[in-house]
């Protein structure tokens, strides 16, 4: 993947919706050839669907061709059960949309993979979500057909990160996929956003997989449909903003919004700027102080939505009644 214009400036985002905003601003136009966007409201939440139609358009966005969908919830941390249910239903609906595009059958096995690191709070949303998934594969095969109704065979794993396992996560998943032959994989991961107000409010789906260098884990091999040989629906949750992104963003805002305060060309002097910025800054992340609570809450929402979407006979009511 080529470096995008904003990555060259020191801004990092894993969100297609932010990449699209940046690319549009860069191009000075609202629409970019080869990129279709649609905005709709689902259970009171704003959903932005982006389709990257060509390799070329993908280069502009820094994203592989495919479907991206972003749910922006009013608030996922509010402990307001109504909001939580609304965003869960919207996420379940979007997951079902991705599944229907893949022509999956009700009895097709799904393997859910929680990427990231239990021991690092902002990177633990994948493992935490996996621990609340309604897992059925081991029961399904020994159940009579009439009992299987409504439950899809689902298995799940949180394999851990490279530094802890010594194995590329993609390698672990590939070996499981090759042996257990699921029809598709759902991968849950923590993401980096550009805007602070994405934290705790946004969920991104895509069918392009988890790409090398994206997410907090910086995997070297992508967890993609091409590598695994089966479709991958990825669910990404922004939990951090890189500190450099914040600083560069602030500089650019100052330069553009306040004429005369900063010289207009500041955004182009990125090399000089980055030289001045402390090298320690580059690996540092900004999180809300209540990140522990936020991760807990979002992991529950993602697991609940998957339980609704994956199991054809399980509706939102069952999930909220029985599986909380």
Q: Which of residues 108-137 bind its own copies (CB under 8 A)?
A: 118-123, 131, 135-137
Residues in the chain, overall count: 324
Size of the site for its own copies (CB under 8 A): 79
Residues 213-252 that bind its own copies (CB under 8 A): 216, 243, 246-247, 250-251
For position 154 contacting its own copies by CB under 8 A, the verdict is: yes
Q: What is the dihedral of CA 293, 299, 300, 303, to 10 degrees?
A: 180
Residues 293-322 that bind its own copies (CB under 8 A): 293, 320-322
Rounded Cα distance between 46 and 37, Å, is: 13
Read off the DSSP letter of residue 76: S
Instruction: Identify whether the C-beta of residue 20 lies closer than 8 Å to the C-beta of residue 37.
Output: yes
Rounded Cα distance between 268 and 264, Å, is: 9
For position 1 contacting its own copies by CB under 8 A, the verdict is: no
Considering beta carbons, is residue 40 or 164 the nearer one to its own copies? 164
The CB density around residue 258, as the number of other CB atoms within 10 Å, is 9
For position 288 contacting its own copies by CB under 8 A, the verdict is: yes
Instruction: Identify whether the C-beta of residue 73 lies closer than 8 Å to the C-beta of residue 200.
Output: no
Near its own copies by CB under 8 A: residue from 1, 5, 102, 172:
172
For position 192 contacting its own copies by CB under 8 A, the verdict is: no
Q: Which two structure tokens, joined as six digits, stand for 279? A: 């090298």
Considering beta carbons, is residue 41 or 272 the nearer one to its own copies? 272
For position 267 contacting its own copies by CB under 8 A, the verdict is: no
Residues 40-99 that bind its own copies (CB under 8 A): 79-82
């Amino acid at each position: 993947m080529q470096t995008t214009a904003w990555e060259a400036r020191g801004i990092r985002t894993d969100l297609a919706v932010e990449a699209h905003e940046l690319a549009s601003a860069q191009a000075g136009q609202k629409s970019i050839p080869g990129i279709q966007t649609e905005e709709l409201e689902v259970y009171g939440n704003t959903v932005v669907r982006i389709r990257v139609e060509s390799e070329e358009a993908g280069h502009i966005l820094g994203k592989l061709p495919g479907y991206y969908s972003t749910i922006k919830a009013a608030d996922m941390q509010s402990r307001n059960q109504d909001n939580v249910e609304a965003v869960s239903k919207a996420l379940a609906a979007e997951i079902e949309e991705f599944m229907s595009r893949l022509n999956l059958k009700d009895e097709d096995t799904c393997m859910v993979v929680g990427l990231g690191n239990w021991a690092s709070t902002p990177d633990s949303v994948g493992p935490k979500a996996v621990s609340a998934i309604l897992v059925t594969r081991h029961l399904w095969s020994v159940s009579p057909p009439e009992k299987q109704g409504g439950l899809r065979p689902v298995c799940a794993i949180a394999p851990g990160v490279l530094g802890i396992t010594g194995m590329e996560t993609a390698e672990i998943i590939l070996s499981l996929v090759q042996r257990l032959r699921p029809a598709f994989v759902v991968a849950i991961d923590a993401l980096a956003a550009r805007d602070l107000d994405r934290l705790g409010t946004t969920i991104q789906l895509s069918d392009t997989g988890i790409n090398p260098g994206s997410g907090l884990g910086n995997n070297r091999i992508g967890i993609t449909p091409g590598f695994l040989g089966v479709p991958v629906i990825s669910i990404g949750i922004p939990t951090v903003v890189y500190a450099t992104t914040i600083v560069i963003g602030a500089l650019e805002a100052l330069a553009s919004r306040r004429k005369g305060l900063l010289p207009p060309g500041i955004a182009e002097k990125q090399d000089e700027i980055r030289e001045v910025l402390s090298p320690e800054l580059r690996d540092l992340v900004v999180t809300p102080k209540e990140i522990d609570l936020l991760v807990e809450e979002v992991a529950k929402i993602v697991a609940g939505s998957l339980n609704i979407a994956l199991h054809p006979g399980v509706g939102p009511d069952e999930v909220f009644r029985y599986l909380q």
